[in-house]
Chain A
Amino acid sequence: MKLTETQHKNIINYLIGEGLEYKEFIDEMTDHFIDSIEAKMGEGMSFFYALEETGNAFKNEIYYPFPLKLFPRIGLKAMEKRFYESKKREIDADLKVNFKTSFFSIPNVLVLCYIGLVHYFLREESSLQDIWLIYAWMLPSFLTFTYLRIAVKEPMDNVGGIGWLFASKQRRVRSVHLNLLMYVNGSKWLGWFNVLVIPLHYFRKYDYVPAYFYFYSMLFIITITLLVQVQAIKMIPKVNKLLGY
């Protein structure tokens, strides 16, 4: 028995209601649910009963993303989390190998030249007042992030950044593909350096920290950020292959 367009939408809403947020996993589960529900309806079951019964087959799954069995994920959400983590583990393994094997490659040397340039401007005490210079370290991050968003060619109907916290479940759906690209790009976690950089800047401005401390902290942050960007660009083919693009 073929499902109607509305029933198809009901399935997607059910999956999103269960807390699923990755497009690839939702697509695979939607196909499974449609096949299973069609078969059950063929045996005389009602749509909603068949939907509930298909969903119940996943209820026993449990996944602990944190130590001490804190905040467990249950059911479909547990499976999705495992799906995402298995992809991420592959990427992490490659990132480690890349860092070890290509530290002195040409892109990394270019990065070090960029750091040298920022270093040159930062050495002037007066330039410490210039917040824009501090954000020079963020420029490559923005550039690679923009490049990734264009390269992925996905519809941008999901909500990112802080808006994600306030968005409806439907608008929170994103792709594992883009999420992993953002992860290797550092967009997902380098932003937290802002939390360090801004107070650091003001501590220096009002002389709470010595100049050398400020200088080497900034140099460390810039180096890490830029080396991550180089890795991100190198990882694009790997992430594409992993997700079947």
Chain B
Amino acid sequence: MLPHAPSREPSDQPRTRVRVLHELRRLLPRIESNAANGRVLPFGIPALDSFLPHGGLPFGALHEITSGHENDLPASLGFTTALLGRVPPGGPIIFVFSRKRTGLGRLYGHGLNALGLDPGRVLLVETQDDAQALWAIEEALRSGAPAAVVGMTATAIDLKSSQRLNLAAGDSGRLLLLVQPEQLAGLNVAMTRWRIGALTAAKDRFGLIARWRWQLSLERCRNGRTGEWQVEFDHAAHRFSLVSPLAHSAPARAPDTPHARAG
């Protein structure tokens, strides 16, 4: 890098009355209603959507996704992918990964496809460290190019950075999902916070996997309610549903059908 010129102090610029009014005018609508243009992403499950403000995940905001255990990372990303498959067309879905985050390799396009997200829409961005990842996420949001941005950092994002990103999401009206490492305390600024856990999949009458299942905990929801669900995702129809109480019990199966199927 070349040396930078010394920056000007903010106190150098006199704040005129006009400027203050302008700022207020800009901030007020956002304080009043969070969904600036009312765009939301529903799950398609009425029981779940009713917990969310305006019946879905609001665009133009930061949402946090985490898990209880490192092992549940594939589950949380799977849930995120299935959700993103429902984003209407109109721009790429950008995944920003900080390299140190996962030792699990790269997302597999055929796997994304199987979860209902068109891999052709996806841009994968890998950064050397968290600082670059935060820069890339903000850059992507402010460019106006993507429909949604998913960010994954190696360590938890600090408050200031999360506020910055939330502001960027709000200004641009894009959906921002941040996948955070397992931890107890979450991001204060997040509009919703989800904790995902793995669950055994639903099997059909032949004993084969019919629907993926995940444990969902909505731990925080501004202007909405918190809750817990067990959701399923049909891998053929690409549709979310709730695990029905009946299905909780062991699936009905002929007594002599073994679990495993030999080749």
Asked if chains A and B come from one complex, the reply is no
Query: Which residues of A come within 8 Å of B, CB atoms?
Result: none
